Every structure is written in C-alpha cells, then in structure tokens.
Amino acid sequence: MELRYQVAGPDDGPLLVLGSSLGTTTHLWEPQMAELSRSWRVLRYDLPGHGGSPPAKGAFSIEDLARAVLALADTERFAVGGVSLGGAVALAVAALAPERVSDLVLCCTSARFGEPGPWHERADRVRAEGMGWLAGMVTARWFTLGVDPELAEPVQTTLLGTDPESYALACEAISAFDLRDRLPYITARALVIAGDQDPATPMEHAETLAEGIPGARLAVVTEAAHLANLERAPAVSGLMSRFLGHGRGIKVRREVLGDAHVDRSLAAATDFTADFQDFITRYAWGEIWTRPGLDRRTRSCVTLTALVAGGHLDELAMHVRAALRNGLTPDEIKEVLLQTAIYCGVPAANAAFGVAQRVLRDEA
C-alpha cells in the first residue's frame, strides 16, 4: 500500500507521524505545524485516494494502514497521532508495535466506530452516487453550528475531491475495526483529545480510550465538534505541544545522560514522583536543552558551574558524565572547575574536583 507523505521540521528531530480524518488530507494538520515542527520531524501522510496518495487497489483494513505507517517510519522509535480514522490508525500502530511507539495522540477518534451497518450503507451509497451527497451531512458533523464558512468550505472541497471507491473501502475498513480489548496492552504515553460537541465520536468513545489505555490522559476541548484540531486550533496545538514536549525531552535526556541513567530514573518513578519526572523531562530537557542559542558543550559548562555553586555533588557526578558525552575533554572539565574555584569558592571546587576525578577514572 502506497501512502504519499510530506515531512517538515529539523532533520535530527524526533519523528512524529500524523494521520488525518476520512475525507480530509494532510492539510488538516496545518494549524499545528508551526508549533510541532519547531522541534519534531513531522511526517504527515494521506490515506488511499486522498490528497496525494493513489487510489486503493482493493479492500484494506485499518491494520493494513497501520503496517504502511510503520513502514514509513522505517526502524525508528516514534510518536504517532491522528484525527478520527487517522487516530484509529495511530491506535493500531501502537497496538501492533508497542516497542516502536513512544507517544500516542488520539484526537476525536475511537477504538470502535459504532455498528457496521451504517458504514456499509455509506459505502454503498458513495459507490452509487459519488461524493456529492456527503458534503452537507459530513461537514455538519465535523463542525459546531455557526462555524466560519472560510474554515469549513476548504474541507468540504477536499472531501468532494476524494476518490469515491477509496472512500467506500475506508468505510468498510472502519466497519470492521474494534481494538477495545487491546487497549490495556498499549504501552505508549497517550493523550486522548475530545470535542465536547462531537457527534461522530461522542465523549463516551474518548472515555473508553482514556480508561482502557494505561496512564492515558483525557483532555476535553470546549465548543468543538469532530475536527477539533481545526475548529479550536490553539487549544489543540497547546495540548499537543505540552504533551509531546515529554517525547522531545526524553530523546535529548537519553542523548545527554545515557539510556542506562534515564531507564533507572523512569523505572524508579512512583505515583508520588512521576509528575516531577514528567516536569523535568518536558521543561529541562524538552525546552531548555533543545534551545538553539547555546550548543550542548556550552550548556554542559554552565551546568557544571551551577552545580558546583549549589553544592549538588550527586548531580555533578551525573553531569560530568554528560559533559563527556557532549564532547568536553577531561582537560576542559578541569578548566571549568578551576574557574569555579575563583567564583564559587575553593572548598566547593575542592569537593567538585574529588567527584569529577572519581567519575573520570571510572569512565577511562
């Protein structure tokens, strides 16, 4: 199955894969791109017969779409999300390959989209009559009453341009989709976003996801229907940015401190300390250490100095190791500690030299 896609963001950023709702294209995610692509390498794909993707050649399942998404991500560990059908694909990806998925964003979607009958009826009518009759019905479910026509009309035009047979086959794939019994086995961090006026996937669908996926968070966007990320773009962008800051932070935290240290920290987290671990991952590592104004070598120099000044010797040992990972030599670390003797005091520098010498000996 060929899915056309586009990528934006830094080449060395962590990968985030996003899928769109049935009858829409990658443009659905445009309101979120400026924020997400600052630090994520965002890959948006089109469903078969939608946007740039070629029409489907035959029947397919949502699991087939999930396998195609896994192929797009190659061998990377990545974050994945989607709206409606795109969210179902993301959910299937997380269920098929839990070891590959770090973070999961489920927007206005479901583990089961109702009874199969109405979906087969829709598929049959699209095959018989084309896409035109859908425009009014579907967009009425996608937006709240009184939505700005300038927001709704481009989406309606995109819907009308979708390949009818591919749309019908997608309806049949949705009719057979049911992952409710697999939710407890999903291991990715999960954010479930619901529109409070969504008639297509009402609140109980979001609650099923949030209650079924271990540790999932539920966020409700007010005055939003099915395309909440479009209709209430700032709210959804903020939710995703805050949630995905953790994923970006984990990547940098592992690069600087090493997998073994990070794995120990996360494994030792309890209900009491988990929020603090999330806080330092998102803000210290996901926001400060990723800023472009200083390189990591310089940030290590600043951090070593601050830890000496504060007398935080346990943290100092960890960051001496981090400084080596960031490219500082033992001689450069010595120069930093000599500088602290002048500005932080000789006793503090003396203790720091003792800690650093033990670390450098162990790392030699």
Long-range Cβ contacts of 118-127 (<8 Å, 24+ apart): 119/171, 119/172, 119/174, 119/175, 120/171, 120/172, 120/175, 122/168, 122/171, 123/167, 123/168, 123/169, 123/171, 123/172, 123/175, 124/168, 126/164, 126/167, 126/168, 126/171, 127/164, 127/165, 127/168
- 80 and 158 co-located in one domain: yes
- Per-residue pLDDT, averaged over 257-265, amounts to 85
Residue 331 — pLDDT band, cuts 50, 70, 90?
very high
Q: Both tokens of residue 97?
A: 């390959």
- 28 and 109 co-located in one domain: yes
Percent helix, strand and coil across the chain, each to the nearest 5:
60, 10, 30
Residue 117 — pLDDT band, cuts 50, 70, 90?
very high
Decide if pLDDT at 114 tops 80: yes
Indicate the residue among 248, 282, 309 that finishes a domain.
248
Whether 290 is in a domain gets the answer: no
pLDDT value of position 140: 84
Q: Which of 293, 340, 347, 300 is nearest to 320 (CA)?
A: 300
Q: Please write the tens of the pLDDT for every residue from 144-183.
A: 987 888 888 899 999 999 999 999 999 999 999 999 999 9
Q: Which residue range forms the structural domain that includes residue 235?
A: 5-248
What strand order describes the sheet that includes 41-45? 5-8, 41-45, 15-19, 78-83, 101-107, 189-195, 217-221
Domain count, the chain: 2
pLDDT value of position 270: 82
Indicate the residue among 248, 280, 303 that finishes a domain.
248
Q: Please write the tens of the pLDDT for every residue from 129-154.
A: 999 999 888 778 899 987 888 888 89
CA-derived radius of gyration, the chain: 24
- Averaged pLDDT of the chain: 93
- 243 and 302 co-located in one domain: no
Q: Both tokens of residue 99?
A: 């070891």
Q: Let me know: does 190 contact 215? Beta carbons within 8 Å.
A: yes
Query: Tokens 């964003």 map to which residue?
Result: 105
User: Residue 74 contacts by C-beta under 8 Å, 6 or more apart in sequence?
Assistant: none
- Per-residue pLDDT, averaged over 235-254, amounts to 85
Q: Where residue 347 sits, what CATH number does that domain have? A: 1.20.1290.10
* Length of the chain as a residue count: 364
- 303 and 206 co-located in one domain: no
Q: Where residue 164 sits, what CATH number does that domain have? A: 3.40.50.1820
Q: What is the pTM of this model?
A: 0.80
pLDDT value of position 242: 83
pLDDT value of position 261: 87
Decide if pLDDT at 247 tops 90: no
Whether 286 is in a domain gets the answer: no
- 300 and 218 co-located in one domain: no
Indicate the residue among 248, 277, 306 that finishes a domain.
248
* Count of CB atoms situated within 10 Å of the CB of 205: 21
Whether 22 is in a domain gets the answer: yes
Whether 277 is in a domain gets the answer: no
- 301 and 229 co-located in one domain: no
- Per-residue pLDDT, averaged over 231-244, amounts to 91
Whether 9 is in a domain gets the answer: yes
- 199 and 305 co-located in one domain: no
pLDDT value of position 204: 97
